[in-house]
Amino acid sequence: MEILYKSTRGGGEPITASAAILKGLADDGGLFVPERIPALDKSLAELAQMEYAQVAYEVMKLYLTDFTEEELKNCIARAYDSKFDTQEIAPLAEADGAYYLELFHGATIAFKDMALSILPHLMTTAAKKNEIKNEIVILTATSGDTGKAALAGFADVEGTRIIVFYPKNGVSPIQEKQMVTQKGANTFVVGIHGNFDDAQSGVKKIFADGALKQKLDENGFQFSSANSINIGRLVPQIVYYVYAYAKLLAEGRISEGEQINVVVPTGNFGNILAAYYAKNMGLPIDKLICASNENKVLFDFFESGTYDRNREFVLTSSPSMDILISSNLERLIYRIAGEDAQKNASLMQELSNAGKYTITDAMKAELASFYGGYASEQETAQRIGELYEKTGYVIDTHTAVASVVYEKYKKETGDTKKTVIASTASPFKFTRSVMNAIDQKYDSMDDFALVDELSKIANAAVPRAIEEIRTAPVLHDHVCEKNEMADTVCGFLGIME
Ligand SMILES: *Cc1c(COP(=O)(O)O)cnc(C)c1O
């Protein structure tokens, strides 16, 4: 049955999945949501017999209903291939009474690869279906992980170009090296003199520039977005929750229909929202455990019903979760408001005016399946060391936040259901914090020496993504001022502004 997409703020007519992927954000500033959440149409026992790509098809076909079977299978085949260093794509590792769903085996060793390896194919297919003749220019501002994953996904994809702006002095050395060594004639990486907010607002300004949009169109280009508000990123993320359940079932660790819990280290609320969609499709998930670091705006929201971003921004060892405005939460708010776009829009207006809003008691009652928790910096580091001592398994800082929150949840509730923890980055991506958590003596070693040491103690090969940048030549050295971003884009595209 066909599913169309509408804005969470009620503007415009519903559009097809492919049109929503091309647009990214709705014209009224809302996010696209499916008119209804479809139910799984294969039994859990059937799904348990399938490989990742097959599960991906069974889930995605229910959402991307204007893609043909051939188109969708083709996108899936091109995404989940040898770019991943494991045949399983998303393996489960059991450690200390939980199942870690490793979502970091892709090209850039963070979970962003799960969606960003398929988004470019969905987007070029969508462009063909909608008879877009222009070349698509992906603009991205990044604080580290999204930029590299988007670059890797879009590199050398025909009909696309990708431009990434990052804060010149605001990313880790490994993250910068990953980006500036990116190959691909259609890739462009620029450091700006400014922070992440400057990069982000510069990109938003370019998107909103009508004259520039016109100029691009005259020259055969149009902009699109690869960030997590695009439904082309949300839908592929539902897949791995279904896959994880099916895998536990196939291995006889749960029985068919048995409920499990899911713990997700959360920033922009995209990953956990995908788990919520999976639950609403009929996957037997009981609790959705939302784990925050010291930027615990979501924990406070689940406690009190008030979302309040007026607080200090804390820099933590899990930087991909350092965020005070969780964009994808809007999709949940819309749903618990009974799909009342007006109500959602007025709450979002309050957020933009006053930096906070409070939901009604009736809405709060709809959040019963969520549990919010958070981990301090000290608890996070301690958990990495403790888990390593106990089991030899090494997790990254983001995953450790989730692991701490799960331990707290168990203690508080006594719940013994089988639990999947989303493991969102390889420990090799945050080597220094991870190694310092294991032993202070590592503090004096340089980054690549630490990588080799981690490989030894974790008994794990150094991922290709890290091996590659050790010796890779720098291919991008553009730097610009924050007010020169539009000029820089035009220069790269070879058009006069
Ligand atoms: C992006 C990211 C997160 C947060 O995911 P959201 O979907 O934004 O909630 C967590 N961990 C890592 C390693 C990430 O890169």
The 10s digit of each residue's pLDDT in 438-486 is 999 998 998 899 999 999 999 999 999 999 988 899 999 999 999 999 9
pLDDT exceeds 90 at position 200: no
Using the structure block, give the residue that is written with the tokens 């695009």. Answer: 230
Q: What percent of the chain has pLDDT over 70?
A: 100
Distance CA 38, CA 433 (A): 41
**Residue 295, pLDDT score:** 95
Instruction: Provide the annotated active-site residues.
Output: 112
**Residue 313, pLDDT score:** 84
Q: What order of strands is seen across the sheet that includes strand 98-102?
A: 92-95, 98-102, 419-423, 260-265, 285-292, 370-374
pLDDT exceeds 80 at position 356: yes
Facing residues of 419 across strands? Answer: 261
Which pair of structure tokens corresponds to residue 316? 């933590």
Ligand 1 centroid – CA 4 distance (Å): 27
**Residue 171, pLDDT score:** 80
The segment with the largest mean pLDDT, out of 173-182, 308-317, 380-389, is 380-389
Whether 230 is in the pocket of ligand 1, judged by its Cβ within 6 Å, is no
Distance CA 457, CA 434 (A): 12
Ligand 1 centroid – CA 111 distance (Å): 7
Taking the CA of residue 399 as reference, the ligand 1 atom at the shortest distance is 11
Contact 400, 96 (CB under 8 A): no
With H, G, I as helix, E, B as strand and everything else as coil, classify residue 365: helix
Instruction: Look at residues 50, 353, 283 and name the one whose alpha carbon lies nearest to residue 275.
Output: 283
**Residue 124, pLDDT score:** 93
Distance CA 278, CA 438 (A): 35
Whether 265 is in the pocket of ligand 1, judged by its Cβ within 6 Å, is yes
Of 109, 271, 370, 399, best ligand 1 pocket probe by most atoms within 8 Å of the beta carbon: 271
**Residue 497, pLDDT score:** 58
**Residue 210, pLDDT score:** 87
Instruction: Look at residues 83, 32, 25 and name the one whose alpha carbon lies nearest to residue 226.
Output: 25
Whether 194 is in the pocket of ligand 1, judged by its Cβ within 6 Å, is no
**Residue 389, pLDDT score:** 97
Q: Nearest residue CA, atom 8 of ligand 1?
A: 268
pTM of the model: 0.94
CATH architecture of 92-109+232-462: 3-Layer(aba) Sandwich (3.40)
Taking the CA of residue 237 as reference, the ligand 1 atom at the shortest distance is 7
pLDDT exceeds 70 at position 35: yes
Whether 316 is in the pocket of ligand 1, judged by its Cβ within 6 Å, is no
Burial annotation 205-221 (CB, 10 A radius, 16+ → b, else e): ebeeeeebeebbeeeeb
pLDDT exceeds 90 at position 327: no
Q: Nearest residue CA, atom 15 of ligand 1?
A: 320
**Residue 473, pLDDT score:** 94
Using the structure block, give the residue that is written with the tokens 């439904």. Answer: 231
Ligand 1 centroid – CA 145 distance (Å): 8
**Residue 447, pLDDT score:** 87
Contact 4, 14 (CB under 8 A): yes
Phi, psi of 34 (to 5 degrees): -65, 145
Distance CA 482, CA 165 (A): 10
Taking the CA of residue 323 as reference, the ligand 1 atom at the shortest distance is 8
β pairing state of 98-102 and 92-95:
antiparallel
Residues counted in the chain: 497
Whether 147 is in the pocket of ligand 1, judged by its Cβ within 6 Å, is no
Facing residues of 288 across strands? Answer: 262, 370
Which pair of structure tokens corresponds to residue 250? 């196939």
With H, G, I as helix, E, B as strand and everything else as coil, classify residue 136: strand
Taking the CA of residue 266 as reference, the ligand 1 atom at the shortest distance is 9
Ligand 1 centroid – CA 166 distance (Å): 17
Taking the CA of residue 112 as reference, the ligand 1 atom at the shortest distance is 15
Mean pLDDT of the chain: 94
Domain coordinates in residue numbering, the chain: 92-109+232-462
Of 119, 145, 405, best ligand 1 pocket probe by most atoms within 8 Å of the beta carbon: 145
Amino acid letter, residue 476: H
Task: Evaluate the CA torsion angle 234, 235, 236, 238 in order and state its sign.
Answer: positive
Of 112, 114, 233, 398, best ligand 1 pocket probe by most atoms within 8 Å of the beta carbon: 398
Ligand 1 centroid – CA 320 distance (Å): 5
pLDDT exceeds 70 at position 51: yes
Distance CA 184, CA 182 (A): 7
**pLDDT 10s digits, 99-156:** 999 999 999 999 999 999 999 999 999 999 999 999 999 998 887 788 999 999 999 9
Other C-beta atoms lying within 10 Å of the C-beta of residue 315: 10
pLDDT exceeds 80 at position 271: yes
